[in-house]
Structure formats: C-alpha cells, structure tokens
Structure 1
C-alpha cells in the first residue's frame, strides 16, 4: 500500500507523540536518554497540532502515521501563544531549572519556559514561519519528506507567507543533506548564537 500525505486529524496525535520521541535525539530515538521524553512532543509537536492544525500534514502508510511536518506561520505569535496557553498546562510537570541546565531534561524544560529564545527576530520579515519535520526510519529515503515539505509549502503560499525557517543541529548530517536537496540555505545571523545550531531558510515566493 502506498503512503498517503494527508492533513492532520486529531486521532493522529498519539502517533505524532511517538514519532517525535523516536526521532528526537538528533534524528535518533530519545527513549532512555531522558527521564521524561514527553517533553519533546510537548515542545515540538503537540502545540502545533492544537494551535494551527491546518499546517500539520502526515505520512500515513495505511496502518499508522510514520511521519509528519508541523508549522507555525507566524513564529512570534506561536511563541507568545505557547507562553500564554501552553506553558501553564505543563509548568508543574516540567519545572524550570533553578540554575543552568544540568542535563538534557533540564535543557528542554528551560526551553519550554523560555521558548521565545527560539525566535530569530532578524529573519522575521523574510522567514516568519518555522517548521519541524520527522520521519520514522521505515519512512525515510522514499521521498516522503520532500512530499510533506511541498504539501506544507503550498499551504503556506495560500496564506501569503513569504518564507519558512528551521533550526538544525549541525551533528545531523543526514538532515542537512535533505534540506540542501529541498532548497534550504543557511541564513547568516548577526547576533551571537550557538555555533552547533544552524538556521536554514526557504523562500516561498
């Protein structure tokens, strides 16, 4: 059975949750590397499905969802909504670290409490949207990532969004090669940022 790229449905949420964890450690399975790996979908999948499900698309192989792309058309608005509507639900389960993060769990908890740090103001006009894309190993190298991306790009163009960006660990060389093939380019940023993270952009016009 061929894999279908289709809009997200609420019944897909558990699959998004599972995929996010199983690809959440630089593209590898984060299970066993975090005390509570649910922090990953809480940050990088579930809020997108709730805030703007029209910009979430999945790869469905007929048995389950094996990949997805999620997106926020306006990054500044997304992070503001995350703080106002989302953080209160999870602040007690994932408390902010008392000091500098001591491990991966605290790194992600700190990011949950300060998600606006992911905002890149200097590219906001040209690349206001941002995305996350994840595919299970069985869905990789089949063209599904490209199909998910172009489905999302069409939806963003319909809304008049001029560009989309993403942040990527430089360790994830497979992802870097994929984004290069799609047409993403690294954006030169003027402010000091973590050199291990690259910001890539794609123009939609």
Structure 2
C-alpha cells in the first residue's frame, strides 16, 4: 500500500538515496559518483530545508520510495539558497574551474554546479514562476503513484497562488517526457544535449 505524506526533516537520508538512485536519466547513478551525497546536496536537500511545505514523500509501508519537491517562487528560492545553502557546501567542495569542462569527473561537474548553480531564465519565470522535481524508485512506479504525487504538489502550488510551474528533463529520459506530456506539460525550450524545459499553466 502506497501513501503520500508531507516530507519531514528525518527524511533527508531517504531523499538523498532516492535522488542518487534515479539520477542517471531515471536509473541508478550510484556507480557514477564517488561522493554519494553530491546529487542530493543539489537536487533534494535544498527543498527539504528551504521549501518544506512543497515536499512530499511516497511511502510503501515504512520505506520512502519516491518524492516530489518544488518551490512556488523560483527566483526567491534561488536567492535563499545563495544566502543559506550554497556557502557551506562551497567551503566543503572545491570549484574545479582550473580543469577543462570536458575533462571533469561526474563529481567535479556537480561541484562546479555548487559554485555556479543554474538559474532559471526570466522569460520562463514570467509565466511559470514555480518549479519541481519528482523521482520514484522502480517499486513506486506505475499504479498512478506519479500522477497522484504530481497532483498533490500542483494543488499546493495553486493554493500558494502560482500561475504556472516548469521543470527540466534530460532528452534521454523519454519515459519521463511522456509522463509529463500526459499531464499537460508543454515544451518551453530545449537546451544543450537535448535537455528540455517543460511548463504547465496552473
């Protein structure tokens, strides 16, 4: 039996684990990173710490097997992280700017992101100021769990007054792209490597 509940601070380890085990275009990326916490530091931890009202966990019994997380005001969230989240991580992880981008290891690429985090284009934020991430382990996929989780977060964003939400997805993750399109997300832009930014009006 699967249940969806608000995330708690004690879920941190579970969210980091799920984040890592879905980070290779939906597949387990544990073999790619020497530091298993790096992916979670960027894509999971900030939301649990700084947008907890928009973080929900999919639970099977007592075990978390998925999450959906987001922020209603992306620009304000980015500003908060710049002040309260990234400084401690920057002191812990060196910026590999002395290495050519093509020669960096997966860990070094993420360390670079800690020092130079992605910021959303203003042209996207004007209509889609919120953003989200959803990750489900294989045991949590199917059966409508993903759709129910998205519904829970989208409702929270609507209630917060958001007019629209966007997300990023890798071009190789065709299953996720199909899932988002089924929910009504439309392509907003295409990035390098085929990555897509999709948006949904709320």
Pairing 1:58-69 to 2, within 5 Å after superposition = 58-69=57-68
Residue 60 (structure 1) shift: 1.0
**What does the per-residue CA deviation read over 1:120-144, in whole Å, with 9 as the maximum and x for residues that have no partner?**
2111111001111000011111211
Residue 96 of structure 1 pairs with residue 95 of structure 2: yes
- Give the equivalent residue in structure 1 for 2:11: 12
Paired with 1:3 and 1:17, the residues of 2 have a C-alpha distance of 20
- Structure 1 residue matching 2:5: 3-state secondary structure: strand
Give the distance between the partners of 1:31 and 1:123, measured in 2 at CA: 32
- Decide whether the 8 Å contact of 1:30 with 1:37 is kept in 2: no
| 1:106 alignment counterpart | 108
- Poorly superposed stretches of 4+, deviation over 6 Å: none
Cα displacement (A) at 1:195: 4.5
TM-score by length of 2: 0.94
TM-score (norm 1): 0.92
Q: How many residues align?
A: 199
Q: How many angstroms apart in 2 are the aligned matches of 1:14 and 1:195?
A: 30
Within 2, Cα distance between the matches of 1:158 and 1:197?
29
How far did 1:37 drift?
Answer: 2.7
Aligned to 2:170: 169
Alignment partners' CA distance in 1, 2:116 and 2:64: 30
Structure 1: 5+ residue stretches without partners: none
- Aligned with 1:167: secondary structure? strand
In the TM superposition, residue 92 of structure 1 has moved relative to its aligned partner by 2.8
Unaligned runs of 5+ in 2: none
